[in-house]
């Protein structure tokens, strides 16, 4: 009750301030008058009476102030005054305001943007209920160091019996062709077993998920659409449920639409379809199933891991013939988030640390600027203290000013964060397809607000406290000469500058290491020439292309494409270098027994022109030729890596190998140069090249899906249109997809290094600039303060060189002290970057020396200008300058 | 000449103001005179402390002010005890008695 009354009274006195004020005045005046009347009755004259009352009862003005400021509303009111006064101050010092707001905008903006990435990758819960209990299940094979092997159907059926996992689902990824609705489209599809949606605990927003009988072979012609496909292809029409669409030439019923934030296994999946698996499947050889499961409540990961190990042992006993060749097979569970972000976590953490350092430097710089500005205002402040303002009141007012400054910086920072997220291609190097793109949502905005206010309190308080330090006598009588207060502030500012230098060094070291890694990575010899090559993929549907038909199709296609004027050469291949499709196979060599692990190679199926289109050099022998296929496939080309590994002392040409015991022998006719087939930063794997043919020689590769490799002077889109035109006469229903320059694929493979290299360089460059400004500011101020001293020294005969050295010495001292602290911090911190570096050690002395050198030069340059101004002071002018 | 006016025991001013107003509604100066008289000049109130206390009691709903004419035809704000104020005064008086008795016992024990 009384609280309410209190609030009401407070509000009333705020809103009807004038009336309430008048009432108080009247009441107090009455008090004074009545007290005076009493005295007059006792015989005093009026003037003496009023004076006596004031002495006895206290000054009326002070009383009014005391009574007025007792209510809570007066805090609000004075805060409002502070804000208005602060705004006036900021407007008055436009230069200072602009510099501070810009510095803060960059600092807070970059921090907010990076935080939004951290949030969407590491902090925000995945959009599945119980997401922390969802695990991926992988087979492992230690003899070859393989940790993420997919499972076979019999393995899945056994794991499915697990007691520690509530559900286990298998899924496979692939693509399918949608026809009958506009242009044929190649869509990416995920086939999932019956527990697929239950594991993820998500239901369609529209329609239903798969029923048990739809997981039976022959009843699986149903499909669930992704939200983006439903929106883009079907105009978000809810009536689509129950309608049919044509997928790979077969009619399928649409039964549901998933929510927009359902991105499993990846955000670019367009459709989900059932994956029927026969309960008695004994297909041991085809390891195509990705497994995902959810731990039962109260079950720990290790418990489940142990249980699945015993299940795997059971499978090995059940099929001894198959598993005797796979000694060392194991099973491993990986939490879902770890699976998605495990490999980028170090990068993201390094980036947030980097941007945090930059923000610290920005704030330090502003604290230093505000301190300097406080020196200018110390007379104003001293006057206010002298006429009765309390120190708390002054601090509060300075803090309000600084808070305004930081809030303005934060608001401008949000614009920078938005631009940054829009402009920086994060998707290339971060798994945003699975987790959703970062955005400035409520969480991120709160983070920005908290950052803004906490930095304002921390870095705004130092100058506010220092500036409000009352040394009235010193300041008020000061006549331009060094006062004790400013000496002390200079010490604080030197400390701030040294920490800026230290932070900059840490950032520079990180950026230096990343840039060195990127340079090494870009300098890697690829072994092929990606310039002017456009690639695209196509897949022939089984229904219209039975066995025996697709080799002819690809032959005709290449001939037609070759006739396009801008095309210089064309070839086909089953998998491009550095792409995610990976076909490989084991092989046997004539007359030798190879160790397990050495007899595996990537398998490339190519047309004869592939090596010339890609400019892969032939080292020995010859390339493949159509004649090699008649009457049966009999030849193979190997890369240098394989030749050296298998025949280190001998000539590989003329040697024979085969893919299976019952397959024909193939003669090695040529050795080609190594290419970086799995990424610029990976060792070249042994490789076998076979000529494209439908005749069997023991290789299992999907010959219907091939990539067209075109060397051309045209843009990808132009050449795709031209090829589309040629394709229409062959098969108008066949979509072209994955249209890319080969150069893009190559640069995507370096993006994991490029992104942190570029961002850390931007942060470090900014830090360096801020540190330089900070050093310059402090030294220039010191010089201005010491004009008198300089004048005296010069008058007493100090040479100009001496003065120059004196002030450069200040800078050198800062650089040395700050730099050493930075080196220590950098040495401690860079080890967290180890996994991000390529062919560079985290403690590379050249890099550390060069960044320390760069920093030293920048600090000296920043010192040179104020120091040279100091040395050119005219002693006469300086001494007269009072 | 009475002794020099002494400071009030911390927190007792509100109670004294309430007590003063328990007899009849009174304006600010009246309260200060009454307290001075009743304490035989021991407590002389500073205007600041008095009006702070009055504002506090008013906000807490223990007293209520009303503008009226004084006997000298001057406008003044008369404060009267509310129901709540009367209750508070009773409580505080009882509490005060208990405390004084306790303190007395302690002082006399030595």
In this structure, what CATH number is given to the domain that contains residue B89? 1.10.10.10
Write the secondary structure of A667-711 as one string of H (helix), E (strand) and C (coil): EEEEEECCCCCCCCCCCCCCEEEEECCCCCCCCCCCCCEEEEEEE
Q: What count of residues does chain B have? A: 110
pTM over 0.80: no
Reading across the β-sheet that carries B75-81, which strands appear in turn? Answer: B26-27, B75-81, B63-69
**Which residue reads 């004994």 in tokens?**
A282
Interatomic CA distance for residues A239 and A767, integer angstroms? 57
Q: Is residue A849 less than 8 Å (CB to CB) from chain B? A: no
**What's the structural domain count of chain B?**
1
The pLDDT score that the predictor gives to residue A388 is 72
Asked if B66 and B77 touch (Cβ cutoff 8 Å), the reply is: yes
The pLDDT score that the predictor gives to residue B110 is 62
User: Under an 8 A CB cutoff, do A70 and B28 touch?
Assistant: no
Q: Which residues of B touch A67 (CB under 8 A)?
A: 48, 51-52, 55
Residue of A nearest to B51 (CA): A67
Tell me the pLDDT band of B69, cut-offs 50, 70 and 90. Answer: confident
The verdict on residue B93 lying in a domain is yes
Selected residues 339-378 of chain A with any CB under 8 Å from a CB in chain B: none
User: Under an 8 A CB cutoff, do A71 and B59 touch?
Assistant: yes
Write the secondary structure of A748-759 as one string of H (helix), E (strand) and C (coil): HCCHHHHHHHHH
Tokens read off for A439: 């955005």
Q: Is residue A20 less than 8 Å (CB to CB) from chain B? A: no
Mean pLDDT over B49-71 rounds to 85
The verdict on residue B98 lying in a domain is yes
B67, containing H or E segment? strand B63-69
Q: Give the best residue of A25, A31, A55 to mutate against chain B (max B CB count within 10 A).
A: A31
The pLDDT score that the predictor gives to residue B4 is 54
The pLDDT score that the predictor gives to residue A309 is 93
Please state, as a whole number, how many other Cβ atoms lie within 10 Å of the Cβ of residue A264: 25
The pLDDT score that the predictor gives to residue B1 is 38
Interatomic CA distance for residues A266 and A216, integer angstroms? 25
Q: Which of A754, A869, A97, A870 is nearest to A407 (CA)?
A: A97
The verdict on residue B4 lying in a domain is no
Interatomic CA distance for residues A827 and A821, integer angstroms? 10
Interatomic CA distance for residues B22 and A176, integer angstroms? 92
The verdict on residue B85 lying in a domain is yes
Please identify every stretch of chain A with a pLDDT value under 70, giving residue numbers as ranges: 1-2, 144, 325, 470-489, 580-581, 596-597, 881-882
Q: Which member of B32, B59, B77 has the closest CB to residue A6?
A: B59
Q: Which residues of B touch A32 (CB under 8 A)?
A: 47
Q: Is residue A7 less than 8 Å (CB to CB) from chain B? A: no
Cα angle A254-A257-A259, degrees, rounded to a multiple of 5: 170
The pLDDT score that the predictor gives to residue A483 is 44
The verdict on residue B36 lying in a domain is yes
Check pLDDT > 80 for residue B26: yes
The verdict on residue B1 lying in a domain is no
User: Under an 8 A CB cutoff, do A60 and B47 touch?
Assistant: yes
A422, containing H or E segment? helix A391-423
Selected residues 30-69 of chain B with any CB under 8 Å from a CB in chain A: 32-33, 44-48, 51-52, 55-56, 58-61
User: Under an 8 A CB cutoff, do A27 and B58 touch?
Assistant: no
Q: Which residues of B touch A1 (CB under 8 A)?
A: 61
Q: How far is CA A374 from the centre of its chain?
A: 39
Q: Write A80-88 long-range contacts (CB < 8 A, 24+).
A: A82/A396, A82/A397, A82/A400, A82/A401, A83/A400, A83/A404, A85/A397, A85/A400, A85/A401, A86/A397, A86/A400, A86/A401, A86/A403, A86/A404, A87/A404
Please state, as a whole number, how many other Cβ atoms lie within 10 Å of the Cβ of residue A789: 15
Interatomic CA distance for residues A684 and A686, integer angstroms? 7
Structure ipTM: 0.83
The verdict on residue B28 lying in a domain is yes
Full residue range of the structural domain in which residue B65 is found:
13-109
Task: Write down the H helix ranges in A42-123.
Answer: 46-57, 60-68, 73-92, 94-118
The verdict on residue B7 lying in a domain is no
Check pLDDT > 50 for residue B107: yes
Residue A178, C-beta contacts closer than 8 angstroms, at least 6 positions apart: A184, A185, A186, A187, A233, A245, A246, A247
**Exposure on the CB side of residue A599, measured as CA atoms within 13 A:** 14
Q: Give the best residue of B13, B26, B59 to mutate against chain A (max A CB count within 10 A).
A: B59
- Dihedral sign, CA of A45, A47, A53, A56? negative
Tell me the pLDDT band of B64, cut-offs 50, 70 and 90. Answer: confident
């Amino acid at each position: 009750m009384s609280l309410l009354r209190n609030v009401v009274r407070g509000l009333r006195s705020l809103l009807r301030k004038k009336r309430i004020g008048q009432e108080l005045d009247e009441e107090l005046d009455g008090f004074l008058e009545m007290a005076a009347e009493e005295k007059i009755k006792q015989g005093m004259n009026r003037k003496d009476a009023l004076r006596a009352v004031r002495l006895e009862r206290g000054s009326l003005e002070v009383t009014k102030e005391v009574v007025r400021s007792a209510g809570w509303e007066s805090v609000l009111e004075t805060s409002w005054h502070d804000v208005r006064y602060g705004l006036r101050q900021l407007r008055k010092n436009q230069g200072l305001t602009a510099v501070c707001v810009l510095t803060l905008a960059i600092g807070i903006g970059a921090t907010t943007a990076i935080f939004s990435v951290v949030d969407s990758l590491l902090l925000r819960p995945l959009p599945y209920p119980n997401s922390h209990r969802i695990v991926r299940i992988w087979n492992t094979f230690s003899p070859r160091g393989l940790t993420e092997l997919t499972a076979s159907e019999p393995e899945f059926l056994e794991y499915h019996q697990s007691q520690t996992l509530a559900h286990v689902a298998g899924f496979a990824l692939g693509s399918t062709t949608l026809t009958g609705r506009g242009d044929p489209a190649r869509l990416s599809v995920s086939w999932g077993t019956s527990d697929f949606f239950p594991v993820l605990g998500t239901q369609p927003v529209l329609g239903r998920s798969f029923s048990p009988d739809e997981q039976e072979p022959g009843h699986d012609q149903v499909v669930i659409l992704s939200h983006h496909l439903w929106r883009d292809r079907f105009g978000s029409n809810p009536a689509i449920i129950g309608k049919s669409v044509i997928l790979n030439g077969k009619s399928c019923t649409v039964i549901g639409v998933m929510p927009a934030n359902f991105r499993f296994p990846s955000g670019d999946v367009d459709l989900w379809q059932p994956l029927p698996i026969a309960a008695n499947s004994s297909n041991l050889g085809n390891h195509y199933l990705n497994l995902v499961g959810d731990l039962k409540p109260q079950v720990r990961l290790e418990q489940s891991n142990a249980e699945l190990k015993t299940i795997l042992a059971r499978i090995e006993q059940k099929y001894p013939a198959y598993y005797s060749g796979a000694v060392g097979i194991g099973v491993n569970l990986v939490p879902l988030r770890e699976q998605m972000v495990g490999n980028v976590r170090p990068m993201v953490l390094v980036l947030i640390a980097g941007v945090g350092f930059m923000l610290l430097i920005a704030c330090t710089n502003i604290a230093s600027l505000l301190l300097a500005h406080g020196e200018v205002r110390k007379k104003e402040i001293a006057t206010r203290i002298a006429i009765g303002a309390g120190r708390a009141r002054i601090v509060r007012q300075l803090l309000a000013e600084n808070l305004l400054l930081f809030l303005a910086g934060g608001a401008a920072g949000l614009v920078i964060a938005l631009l940054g997220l829009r402009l920086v291609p994060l998707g290339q190097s971060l798994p945003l397809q699975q987790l959703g793109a970062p955005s400035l949502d409520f969480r991120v905005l709160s983070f920005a607000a908290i950052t803004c206010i906490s930095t304002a309190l921390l870095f705004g308080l130092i100058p506010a406290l220092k500036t409000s330090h009352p040394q009235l006598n010193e300041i008020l009588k000061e006549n331009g000469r060094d006062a004790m207060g400013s000496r002390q502030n200079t010490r604080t500012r030197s400390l701030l500058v040294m920490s800026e230098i230290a932070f900059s060094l840490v950032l520079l070291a990180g950026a230096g290491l990343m840039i060195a890694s990127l340079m090494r990575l870009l300098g890697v010899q690829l072994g092929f020439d990606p310039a002017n090559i456009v690639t695209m993929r196509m897949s022939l549907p089984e229904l219209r292309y039975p066995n025996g038909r697709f080799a002819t199709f690809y032959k005709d296609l290449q001939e037609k494409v070759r006739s396009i004027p801008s095309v210089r050469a064309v070839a086909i291949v089953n998998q491009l270098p550095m792409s995610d499709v990976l076909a490989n196979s084991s092989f046997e060599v004539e007359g030798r027994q190879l160790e397990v692990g050495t007899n595996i190679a990537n398998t490339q199926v190519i047309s004869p022109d592939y090596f010339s289109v890609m400019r892969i050099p032939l080292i020995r022998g010859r390339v493949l030729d159509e004649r090699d296929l008649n009457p049966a496939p009999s030849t193979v080309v190997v890369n240098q890596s394989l030749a050296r590994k298998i025949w280190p002392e001998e000539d590989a040409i003329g040697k024979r190998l085969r893919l299976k015991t019952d397959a024909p022998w193939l003669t090695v006719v040529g050795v080609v140069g190594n290419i970086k087939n799995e990424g610029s930063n990976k060792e070249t794997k042994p490789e076998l090249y076979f000529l494209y043919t439908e005749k069997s020689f023991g290789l299992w590769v999907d010959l219907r899906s091939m990539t067209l490799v075109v060397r051309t002077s045209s843009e990808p889109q132009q050449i795709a249109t031209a090829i589309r035109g040629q394709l229409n006469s062959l098969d108008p229903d066949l979509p072209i997809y994955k249209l890319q320059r080969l150069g893009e694929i190559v640069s995507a493979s370096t993006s994991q290094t490029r992104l942190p290299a570029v961002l850390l360089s931007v942060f470090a460059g900014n830090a360096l600039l801020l540190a330089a400004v900070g050093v310059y500011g402090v030294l220039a101020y010191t010089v201005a303060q010491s004009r008198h001293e300089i004048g005296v020294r010069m008058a007493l005969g100090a040479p100009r060189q001496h003065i120059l050295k004196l002030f450069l010495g200040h800078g050198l001292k800062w650089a040395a002290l700050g730099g050493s602290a930075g080196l220590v911090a950098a040495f401690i911190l860079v080890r967290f970057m180890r996994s991000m570096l390529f062919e560079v050690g985290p403690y590379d002395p050249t890099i550390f020396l060069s960044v320390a050198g760069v920093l030293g030069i920048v600090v000296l340059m920043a010192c040179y200008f104020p120091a040279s101004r100091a040395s050119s002071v005219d002693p006469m002018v300086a001494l007269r300058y009072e | 000449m009475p002794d020099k006016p002494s400071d009030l025991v911390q927190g007792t001013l509100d109670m004294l103001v309430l007590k003063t107003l328990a007899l009849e509604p009174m304006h600010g100066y009246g309260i200060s005179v009454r307290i001075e008289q009743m304490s035989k000049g021991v407590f002389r109130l500073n205007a600041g402390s008095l009006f702070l206390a009055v504002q506090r009691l008013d906000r807490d709903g223990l007293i209520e002010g009303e503008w009226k004419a004084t006997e000298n035809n001057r406008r003044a704000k008369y404060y009267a005890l509310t129901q709540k104020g009367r209750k508070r005064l009773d409580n505080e008086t009882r509490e005060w008695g208990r405390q004084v008795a306790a303190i007395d016992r302690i002082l006399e024990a030595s």
